[in-house]
Amino acid sequence: MILTVTLNPSVDRALEVDALVRGEVLRAADSHIDPGGKGVNVSRALLANGVRSTAVVPTGGAEGEQLVDLLNAEGVDLLSVPIAGRTRSNITLAEPDGTVTKINEAGPVLSDTEFAQVSKAVLDAAAQADWVVICGSLPPGPSIDAFTDLCSRLVGAGYRLAVDSSGPALLAGVAAGAALVKPNREELAEAVGAEPTTLGDVVEACRRLRAAGAGAVLASLGADGAVLVDGDGVLAGISPVSVPRSTVGAGDALLAGFLAAGARGAAALTEGLAWGAAAVSLPGSRMPTPADLDRTHVRVTPDPDPSRPLHS
């Protein structure tokens, strides 16, 4: 079982528009409502592919009830912790060429008591889990020290921890010794204070995160695929998509596929890239099912050419 933790989940509303024009009334060609938040998406992707997962989510207000209803309707196994604040709604505007504009709310304040309740739910359930996967932004409220403490307690208790977050929360996961971190290109750049422009730069940045405590680094690079740096070496892979529809949740699908396939080596990276590419081809943040997966276009190579430029 893979336990996911989404401290700041959301109800995701995606609107498909012909073109984004500021100051105009836009008519949506289509719309989708999905349960959202990065850990929530990892659980949804795992469930859609027959892998057992439980999602820990603080929920509150009408949107919190809607989120629980949406997740129950999909059959996601939930540990919902009631909070006083209102669960956020995030908006995606998707254009036909695949361009996505997102507006994410900050999310409700999680009080110290509520954060302690969520932490207890996580620590209690972790004993049954092969992985504990903490994903997404931190909501307002918990200090970075409290978050670091949760990560350290999980690692200290011997659980395999994966962290997919940004800024200080990503660095807290690294410093706590998470077995895996999954930054995207911007998160990697922020973490090392340098913008990667080649695969060599990405590998160097991943090595710095490993030196700072992370066991493995899975760097996702949008249309440039992904790079895995771990104790076994360096792998790079790509999964071209002819008609990108919505990149929302692509990183979550990549992480889910990578974990589902054992989180090591070329087979796991191939699986992650196939799930990521499939998510990009689907509307909103719909997660791929086995029927959506096509591994034939995925290319994974060891020790990639460090001078290869990044395009996306």
Ligand X SMILES: Nc1ncnc2c1ncn2[C@@H]1O[C@H](COP(=O)(O)OP(=O)(O)O)[C@@H](O)[C@H]1O
Residue 254 binding partner per list ligand FBP, ligand X, none, with a CB distance cut-off of 5 to 8 Å that depends on partner kind: ligand X
> What angle, 0 to 180 degrees and rounded to 10, lies between the N-to-C axes of helices 61-74 and 38-48?
20
The letter for the amino acid at 227 is V
- Binds 221, which of ligand X, ligand FBP, none (CB < 5 to 8 A, cut-off by type)? ligand X
Question: Binding of ligand FBP at residue 244 (CB under 6 A)?
Answer: no
Stretch that binds ligand FBP, among 113-121, 155-163, 173-181, 249-257 (CB under 6 A): 249-257
DSSP annotation of 159 reads: -
Per CB under 6 A, the list member of 126, 277, 282, 287 interacting with ligand X is 277
Count of chain residues binding ligand X (CB under 6 A): 18
**Considering 12, 164, 252, 292, which one is annotated as catalytic?**
252
Q: Per CB under 6 A, does 53 bind ligand FBP? A: no
Strand pairing of 30-36 and 10-16?
antiparallel
Record the tokens describing residue 34, joined without a space. Answer: 């999905």
Asked if 226 touches ligand X (CB under 6 A), the answer is: yes
Task: Please provide the distance, in angstroms rounded to a whole number, between the alpha carbons at the two ends of the chain.
Answer: 34
Hey, CA dihedral for 99, 285, 234, 156, is it positive or negative? Answer: positive
Q: Which amino acid is at 54?
A: T
What residues have CB less than 8 Å from 143, skipping those under 6 apart?
none
Q: Which does 280 bind (CB under 5 to 8 A by kind): ligand X, ligand FBP, none?
A: ligand X
Nearer to ligand FBP, 187 or 201 (CB): 187
Q: Does 8 bind ligand FBP (CB under 6 A)?
A: yes
Q: Contacting ligand FBP (CB under 6 A), which of 2, 3, 5, 10?
A: 10
18 is an active site residue: no
Is residue 150 a contact residue for ligand X (CB under 6 A)?
no
Binder of ligand X out of 142, 222, 288, 304 (CB under 6 A): 222
The string of DSSP codes covering 185-230 is HHHHHHHHTS---BHHHHHHHHHHHHHTT-SEEEEE-GGG-EEEEE
Binding-site partner at residue 281 among ligand X, ligand FBP, none, CB < 5 to 8 Å by type = none
Closest-by-Cβ residue to ligand X is 251
Write out the two tokens for 56: 């820990």
Cα 166 from Cα 171, distance rounded (Å): 8
Distance of CA 10 to the CA centre of its chain: 13
- Distance, CA of 33 to CA of 47 (rounded, Å): 18
| Nearer CB in complex with ligand FBP: 43/54 | 43
Closer Cβ to ligand FBP, 106 or 194, answer by number: 106
Q: Is 252 in the site for ligand FBP (CB under 6 A)?
A: yes
Q: Are 185 and 221 in contact (CB under 8 A)?
A: yes
Q: Determine contact, residues 253/41, Cβ cutoff 8 Å.
A: yes
Q: Tell which one of 239, 246, 270, 285 touches ligand X (CB under 6 A).
A: 239
The answer to whether 108 contacts ligand FBP (rule: CB under 6 A) is no
Read off the amino acid at residue 170: L
CA 139 to chain centre: 15
Enumerate binding residues for ligand FBP (CB under 6 A). Answer: 8, 10, 12, 36-38, 41, 90, 104, 136-137, 248-252, 285
The catalytic residues are 252
